[in-house]
Amino acid sequence: MLPNARRDCVDIDCFWMGVLVYSHILSLYTPTTKNSVQISSDKNNVFAVRASGNVGSDVIDGLVRKGVETTAYVRNEKKARELFKDELATGLLSIVVGTYTSIDIYARANEGHDRLFILVSGGVNKPVSMSKIKEIFGKIAYERRVRQIVDVSSYNVRIDGIQCIIRHMHTTSEDKLLALAETNSDERSLVILNISECAAAVLTEPVEKHDRSIYEAGAEVLSNEQRAKIFDKVLGTSIMYEQQTIEDFYKTNISSGMNHSFAYDLIKLAFNGEGKKATLQLAVILNPPLRTFEEWLQDNIQLFQ
């Protein structure tokens, strides 16, 4: 942590991901002067980076459902227009085509937005690229008066005792965003949250509400055998659980192009069960309330048929 840093952390361990929220609040803590900028804390205009993935698309859906004007920054316009045809029809969503390297396009499109949602995938062979991208995008956003950055981060990256390349790449990224937010600590704050539902909640509520808070999000804790029985019950078919060996798990990841350090760290997370815990208190943040694994499976049964 930076010296004297004023931080709000919402660490959401929901499978592989958590969400960080960096809030940039102009003139919230400083005396008003004739040159200070007054911004309504409940104003919403969200710019979403990498919006067409599984998490990002849910965030877009949640924002539009809440009547928030949103800009989706995507690589594939055709895919995005098909994916978001209902959201586009509302007039609340607009699409900008760009990549992590098209900085000029991002900078121009980001102008005039109040909040930024960003999701950056770390390259399994170039983990340092994540922190560079987030630092560049975050700096540009703050220069354009964005008040809040919601950054999707990795599962358990802040849990003490986990020393690995996955933790390093995400922690480095977070620290760079934090450094940007802490340039003037009286005007900036930090929060951390859950994946799509939590991100949508934070992006649509007053910045002050989640200012300097810490939230953890963990799903219902079940053994693999218990999970198999629930699949059996809900799907109405016989599900046999088989434990993959560590060696096979490692070989599968290596064969997909993952480097050794990444694959090794995934073994620690997958087989040691580090950091798994249910966080029932998150029900006060989310609406609808938390669901059990069985309830979630009932709601998403079509995905397994």
Q: Domains of the chain (ranges plus CATH)?
A: 11-31+41-218 (3.40.50.720), 224-304 (no CATH)
Question: Rounded to whole angstroms, how far apart are CA atoms 118 and 151?
Answer: 5
Residue recorded with tokens 């008040």: 147
Question: Rounded to whole angstroms, how far apart are CA atoms 289 and 300?
Answer: 16
Q: What pLDDT is recorded for position 217? A: 63
**Cis peptide leading into residue 31 (ω within 30°):** no
Q: What pLDDT is recorded for position 75? A: 93
Q: Measured at the alpha carbon of residue 157, what is the angle toward residues 271 and 261, in degrees to the nearest 5?
A: 60
Question: Rounded to whole angstroms, how far apart are CA atoms 144 and 2?
Answer: 24
In sequence order, the 6+-apart residues with CB closer than 8 A to the CB of 18 are 10, 11, 12, 152, 153, 154, 155, 156, 157, 158, 192, 193, 194, 195, 217
Q: What pLDDT is recorded for position 65? A: 92
Tell me the H-state helices in 205-281.
224-235, 246-255, 260-272
Question: Rounded to whole angstroms, how far apart are CA atoms 288 and 34?
Answer: 43
| Continuous segment of H or E residues that includes residue 267 | helix 260-272
Q: What letters, b where the CB count within 10 A reaches 16 and e where it falls short, cover 28-61?
A: beeeeeeeeeebebeebebbbbbbbeebbbbbbb
Q: What pLDDT is recorded for position 268? A: 74
Q: What are phi and psi of 179, to 5 degrees?
A: -60, -40
Question: Rounded to whole angstroms, how far apart are CA atoms 50 and 60?
Answer: 10
Predicted confidence pLDDT, tens digits, the chain (305 residues):
223 322 222 223 333 334 444 443 222 222 233 333 333 445 579 999 988 888 889 889 999 999 999 999 999 999 999 999 999 999 999 999 999 899 999 999 999 998 989 888 765 555 557 778 888 898 898 888 888 888 776 544 445 444 454 554 555 556 655 565 555 444 443 343 346 777 788 788 877 776 656 566 666 777 778 888 988 999 998 888 888 889 998 999 899 888 887 788 778 777 765 556 666 776 777 766 677 888 888 888 888 87
| Type of residue at 232 | D
Residue recorded with tokens 């309830």: 295
Q: What are phi and psi of 233, to 5 degrees?
A: -65, -50
Question: Rounded to whole angstroms, how far apart are CA atoms 289 and 237?
Answer: 29
Token reading at 51: 């919006």
Cβ atoms of 207 and 50 closer than 8 Å: no
Q: What are phi and psi of 41, to 5 degrees?
A: -75, -15
Residue recorded with tokens 């690589």: 75
